[in-house]
Amino acid sequence: MVSQLRFKADELVLARAPKVYSRWMVASRRDETVNGKQRLAEYAIACGGLAGFGGFFSRDFREDDYQLGRRNAQKFLRDTFALHENNPIFADWTAEQKQALGVTREEGRFLPIIALLGDCTLEVHEPTWPAGTMTSER
């Protein structure tokens, strides 16, 4: 189990590099508003208390983390898991598909490797912390 939890540092560096398109990392994240400003929350998952054992104490914790995972996956597929529109894998896409599904970044126009269609385009909203979450700040 321990070996499954380890990461290679050089792989993490590549995953964080903005112009490397061969590595991606999906990780739990939650935003919070403090004094009117958005920031990354210190604690992302409600089940994280007691070294991840907290999920056994409340179904609400597990449901919150499930919805947060859905939101994070949706945002990853829509905003991050994309390649430049000139990539050959998009050669058969129509102009309408490129316009409807693309996102514009500083580096140009990007298209999703896995496009969200139908009900998957409906935004999954970030859940609110469940009552009784076991973190030092809540």
Q: Is residue 99 part of a domain?
A: yes
Q: What is the pLDDT of residue 49?
A: 78
Could you state, in chain order, the average pLDDT of each consecutive group of 10 residues for the chain (138 residues)? 64 83 80 86 82 84 92 90 93 94 90 94 89 53
Q: What is the pLDDT of residue 87?
A: 95
Q: Is residue 5 part of a domain?
A: no
Q: Is residue 33 part of a domain?
A: yes
- pTM over 0.85? The answer is no
Q: What is the pLDDT of residue 1?
A: 45
Q: Is residue 62 part of a domain?
A: yes
Q: Is residue 135 part of a domain?
A: no
DSSP 90-128: GTT--HHHHHHH-EEETTEEEEESS---GGGGSPPPPPP
Q: Is residue 11 part of a domain?
A: no
Q: What residues make up the domain containing 102? A: 25-121
State how many domains the chain has. Answer: 1
Q: Is residue 51 part of a domain?
A: yes
Q: Is residue 138 part of a domain?
A: no
Overall residue count recorded for the chain in this entry: 138
